[in-house]
A and B are shown apart, each in its own frame.
Chain A
Amino acid sequence: MAISDSSDNFRHLYDTVLMHYVRNSLVLLVGVCAMAVVWGVPSAWLVTRYDFPARRIFRWALLLPIAMPAYLVAFVYTDLLDYAGPVQIALRDWFGWQSQQDYWFVDMRTMGGAIFVLSLVFSPYVYWLVSLNFSEQSQSLIHAARLLGRSEWQIFIKVVLPLARPAIAVGCTLVGMETLADYGTVAYFSVWHITTAIYDTWLQLSDLSAAAKLSCLLLLFIVVLITLERRGRRNMRLYSDRHTPMLRVPLSGIKAWLATGWCMLILGFGFLLPAGWLLSRAVRYFTDTDWPAFGRMTIQTLTVSFSAALMAALVAFLLHCYARVRSRKGQWTLRIASLGYAIPGTVLAIGVLIVTTSVDHSLNAVTRSIGYGNVGLLLSGTLFAMTLAFVCRFSAVAIGAVETGMAKVPTSFDESAYLNGYSYSETSRLIWLPLLRNSLLTAFLLVFLESMKELSAALLLRPFNVQMLSTYIYEYMTSEMFEVAALPALLMVVAGLPAVLLLTYSMDKR
C-alpha cells in the first residue's frame, strides 16, 4: 500500500506540517521515556534496597497508575489546573489576583503537560521491570562494592544501574511504543504528532496510500528504537548465577521520610489524585446512574478484555516455544509480532477490518455455494474483530512478559527432554508451560489491563449495541459532559485493581 502511487497528499503533508509532527514525536518520545525512568527507577531501587515507612504498600501500589487510562488522567489534570479549576481559584483567593494576566500558571495543554501525564501512567512499566531486575541482582556484588569502600550512591550508579540497563531499555521500549501510538491524550492536549497525521490522511483526506506511508515512517521509528536498544546490550549477559537474597537496609529519620515522600509523590500524582477526583465526581452524580447500562458495559468490557488477554498469552507462549525450537526464524517472528503495539489503534483497527471482512466475504461465498445462503459478517460484525485487534496490539506486552521467564529456563532442560524422547509439543506442554506459569499470568494480566483501557480500536470496531467503558467515557469526556462518565470511569479503574494486585503477586512468585 505504502509504495503504490505517490499521492499529492503526502507531498502536501511533507510541505506543510510533517516535519513539525516528526519533531513533536521525537520530543514526546524522549521526554516521556526520560520522565518514566525518573519516576520508575529510583522508586524501584528504594523499595527493593531499603526499608522505610509504608514500603510494603508502595511495593504494589506503585503499579496502580497502570490501571488509569492516560486520557482520563489528562482530563483530570486539565480540569484541576484550569483557570476555573480549584487550584487556580484557591491561588487567586490567597494572593488576590484578579485575572489570568496577573500571574503565570502551568498550562496542561502543552508538550510538557503531555509528557507529564503520559510518563506518569506509563512509568509502572519501567518500575515493574526494573524492580524485578533489582531483586534478581546478586547481593554479593553489592557486598563486594561495599567492602571496597563505595558509598550507596556509587553502588547505585556504578554497579546496580548498569546491571539494570536491559530492564530499563525494555521498559522504555514499551513506554515509547505506547507513546507513539497514543491518540486520545495528545489530541486532548493539542500536541499533534505523527499519529495525528496518519489519522488525518486516512480518515479526513481518505488517502489510504499516504496514510500507509506515514505508518511505515512510524514503524521505522519503532524499528530503530528496538534495534538501538538491542545493539546497546548485544554483548551483555550480566546475571550472576550465585544469588544471595536481598538484605534490605533500614532507613531512618529524614532519609526514611524522603523515601516515603518520593514514592508518595508518584502514587499521589499517578493514581490517588485522579482516583480521588473520579470518586468525588462519581459520588456527586451517583443518583443519575443508569445501572443496567453500566452493568452491560462492564460485562462487555470484561468479556473482551478477558478473551484478548487469554489469546495474547497463548500467542506469546506459542511464539516463544517456536523461537526456542527454531531460534533464528522464531526471534524474527517474535519481533514482528511485537510491532503491533506501536501501530495506532485506528490504523490497526482498519487493518483488522480489512482482514476480517475479506474472510467474511469468502465465508459467505462458501456458504452460498453449498446452498446455505449468506451468514453475514461473522467475524467483522461481532466482538471477534475487536478482540483480534486487541490481541494484535498487545501481543508485544505479552511477549515481553514471557521473554524474561523463558530466558530463565535452562536449555539443558530441553535437551534432557529430547533425549528422553519427548516431542516438541510434549516438551512445551510438560516442561515449559509449568515453568512459565507466572510469566504467563503476568502477560495475561498486563494485556487485560491494557485492553480495558484501549480506546481507538474499540471506537472503530464496535458491533451493534455494544458500548465499552472506555468508549463511553471518552465520548462524554470530550463533549465536556464528564458528569455522565465519572462513575463508569471509576468502575473501569476499580475493575483493574484485582489485576494489579495479582500482578504484584506474580512478581513475588518469580
Chain B
Amino acid sequence: MKMRILAAVLAAATTGSALADVNVYSYRQEFLIKPMLEAFTKETGIKVNTIYVKDGLAERIKQEGEHSPADIVLTVDISRLEELVNEGLTQPIESEVVDANIPANMRGNEWVALTQRARAVYSSKERVGKLPDSFTYLDLAKDEYKGKICTRSGKHPYNVSLVASIIEHEGAEAAKEWLQGVKANLARKPQGNDRVQVKAIMEGVCDYSLGNSYYYGKMLTNEKEPEQKQWAESAVINFPDQETYGTHMNVSGVALAKYAPNKEEAMQLIDFLTGDQAQHMYAEDNFEYPVNPNVQPSELVASWGDFKKDEVDITKVASHYQEALKLVDEVQFDL
C-alpha cells in the first residue's frame, strides 16, 4: 500500500516536471501574486507551478543545486534578492523588455524590482490627525512619543530594511540609538503584523504605528471582514521624511535561478511581470506602487497624495541588512 502511494506520488511529480512550465519559488504569499500568474497563463498558455514558502528558500535552492527545478524566485524584499545573488544562486537577466519597463535604479544585473511599498507611519485620526511634512522616522524615538507607538517584531524584514536604511543615511550608532528610543516609546511588546498595529490605534492602545502602505488599501477595501475598514478609517497614513531623504520604500522583486531549466519561459514571465498589465494588477489589486513608470498607482493609493520617495541605492540598504538585524537583538527590541 505504502509503495503504491509512493509510486503514485513519484509518477505525479515526474510527469509534472516534464512539461515546459515555469517553476516559481515564492516568498510572496499566494493571494498577492496568484492573479498575475493566472493572467500570464491565460495570455501565453504557459502553465505556472508554484511553491509558496515563508523561510529557507535560498537554503533549499542551494541544496538542490544543478537539479533545482526553480526557474524564478519571487521575494518580498531586496535583502532576500541580495542573499540569492550573493549565494550565487541566480543568473543575469538579459531582456530589452525589462530594460524598457523598469528604471535602472530598480534593477540589478541579476534581479528586478516589481513593486514598491512605502514604510508608512500611521497616526490616530482622532487623537493625532495628519502628521506634518517635517515628521521623520527619527522623531519616533523622541520622548514625547513615550507609550504611544505600536509595531510588529523588529526582526521582520520590513522593519529590518527600515533600520538598514537608517544605517545607510545616519550610520550604525544613530540607528542603534533610534531603535533604543523607539523601544522605550512602545505602547506594548512588538507583536502581530502591520494590520494589527492599525487595529491597535483604533483600540486606543497607541497613537502611532509603523506599517506598509498597501495594507491601508487592503483594509479599506476589505468586504469580507468589514471590521478592518473601521481599523483603517481610524488612522491616517503618513509619509515621513518629506523634508529630508524621502519615505523609505521597500521592494518586492524577482530573480532568475541559476539553473533555471525553462529559462525561455521564465524570461517571458519576468517580462510579463514588469509589463503594463501585471503592473496595473499590482497597483489595483494589491495597492502597491508600480515600478514601471508607465503605470499609475490605483485611484485609492493616488488619493493618499504624492510624496517624496527615498531614492537611495537599495542594494546599499540591503548590504546593511545583517548589521540591522543584529542591532535589533542588541537593543533587545522584541523582548
Contact = CB atoms under 8 A, between A and B. Distances in A.
B30 interface: yes
Interface in B169-205: 188-193, 195-196, 199-200, 202-205
B316 interface: no
A480 interface: yes
B325 interface: yes
Contacts of B55: 199, 203, 346, 459-460
Nearest to A378: B10
B221 interface: no
Interface residues of A, number: 67
Given A83-B203, A382-B13, A465-B16, A307 B6 contact: yes
A375 interface: yes
Contacts, number: 167
Nearest to B25: A464
A479 B63 CA distance: 29
A336 B182 CA distance: 46
Contact of A204 (B53, B155, B335): B155
A246 to B, nearest CB: 38
B224 interface: yes
Contacts of B199: 84
Given A190-B191, A460-B60, A311 B51 contact: no
A75 to B, nearest CB: 11
Q: Size class of B's contact patch? A: 35 or more
A203 B1 contact: no
B204 A13 contact: no
Interface string A341-366: 00000100110011001001100100
B10 A475 contact: no
B326 interface: yes
A310 B5 CA distance: 11
A311 B3 CA distance: 11
B83 A378 contact: no
Contact of B329 (A13, A107, A306): A13
Interface string B199-224: 11011110000000000000000001
Contact of B9 (A20, A202, A383): A383
A288 B31 CA distance: 14
Interface in A183-216: 189-190, 192, 199-200, 202-206
Contacts of A82: 203
Interface string B8-36: 01101110110000010000011100000
A353 B1 CA distance: 25
Contact of B204 (A100, A206, A460, A481): A100
A109 interface: yes
Contact of B10 (A346, A382, A466, A480): A382
A382 B334 contact: no
Interface string B312-334: 00000000001001100110101
B64 interface: yes
A422 interface: no
A202 B325 CA distance: 13
Contacts of A202: 56, 59
Contacts of A376: 14, 17, 67, 69
Interface in B136-156: 153, 155
Contact of A381 (B13, B193, B228): B13
B330 A16 contact: yes
25 contacts: A16-B329, A20-B335, A100-B204, A109-B189, A199-B55, A200-B325, A203-B56, A288-B224, A303-B5, A310-B1, A310-B2, A350-B56, A353-B59, A354-B63, A357-B67, A377-B68, A380-B63, A382-B13, A460-B56, A464-B23, A464-B51, A465-B49, A465-B50, A467-B52, A478-B193
